[in-house]
Amino acid sequence: MEHEIFMLNRIEFLLHLADNALIIGHRNSEWCAHGPALEQDIAISNIALDYIGQARNFYQHAAFLINELPHESSVFSIPATEDTLAYLRDASAFKNHLMTELPNGDWAFTTLRIFFFSSYQYFLYQQLIQHEDAQIAAIAEKSLKEVTYHLRWSSDWVIRLGDGTTESYQRMNTAINALWPYTQELFQENNFLQPTKNILAQIQTDWNEKIKNIFEEAGLHLPEKSVQYQGGTKGFHTEHLPIILTEMQLLQRVYPNCEW
């Protein structure tokens, strides 16, 4: 029984990582053909693909572990695949952070969200490279190379907009005020985060330092204390996630088991 609970927590952790990557990847894909310049349109489209690739890897490993569970102890549909986990779960089963599901807003909002989230992933994946599960460690090592680019790219945009024109500075401040209430959820402890409980405090410390340094270079200021929203890891989401899933899951739900 203890082993099964342990495995269920690990599966939930993998789904959390996958859901985060899938939803923010979907949001970034919405910029395709709408970027401010061709180079940046290609850049954010590639970032979206990186996130989708991370999601696939985590879903595949989660599906493997689900299919290894005794049927009577599994709360998941068996056999599980990356497709069933992405396309056949309802919003309440998703465990992504609320930040990832918010609408894109303008370019300042989108690049700041990538900056906040990639900073978090950067320090998280550095820790997960040491994970006892060799597959999680391998995915983290591969993903860290991608996230390093995401962080550098988004940092440049935060500095560029913060230290730019009066309008770009105002737009970045508006984005900060809109996104900041969702940042502390990144470091909220949860039962299935047991593998990372002991490192969340260090990740938060490193994250805070990174944000502070980039903001100082951009001439931006950390906001005062504000209300903090949370609940995504427990299945409590904004009204935006069901809309995303309705679009994303339509084909699979209308035509079950369809394949390209």
CATH number for the domain spanning 205: value is 1.20.1260.10
pLDDT more than 70, % of the chain: 93
Q: For residues 94 and 21, is the Cβ–Cβ distance under 8 A?
A: no
What is the DSSP secondary structure assignment for residue 225, as one 8-state letter?
Answer: P
Residue range(s) defining the domain that contains residue 13: 2-254
| Amino acid, res. 168 | S
Q: What is the pLDDT of residue 199?
A: 83
Gap between the Cα atoms of 179 and 155, Å rounded: 16
- Whether residue 162 lies inside any domain: the answer is yes
pLDDT mean over 140-165? 97
Q: For residue 208, report the phi and psi dihedrals to the nearest 5 degrees.
A: -60, -40
pTM: 0.93
Summarize the confidence of residues 89-98 as an average pLDDT. 96
Contact 175, 153 (CB under 8 A): no
Rounded to whole angstroms, the Cα distance separating 104 from 24 reads 10
Sequence length of the chain is 260
Q: Which pLDDT band, with edges at 50, 70 and 90, does 189 fall under?
A: confident
Domain count, the chain: 1
- Structural domain contains residue 259: no
More confident residue, 7 or 141: 141
Q: Using CA of residue 28, residue 29, residue 32, residue 38, what is the dihedral sign?
A: positive
- Give dist(CA 141, CA 126) in Å, integer: 8
Q: What is the mean pLDDT of residues 40-62?
A: 95
- Whether residue 260 lies inside any domain: the answer is no
Whether pLDDT at 94 is above 80:
yes
The confidence score (pLDDT) of residue 32 equals: 87
Note whether residue 13 is domain-resident. yes
* 41 domain residue, yes or no: yes
Pick the more confident residue, 253 or 151.
151
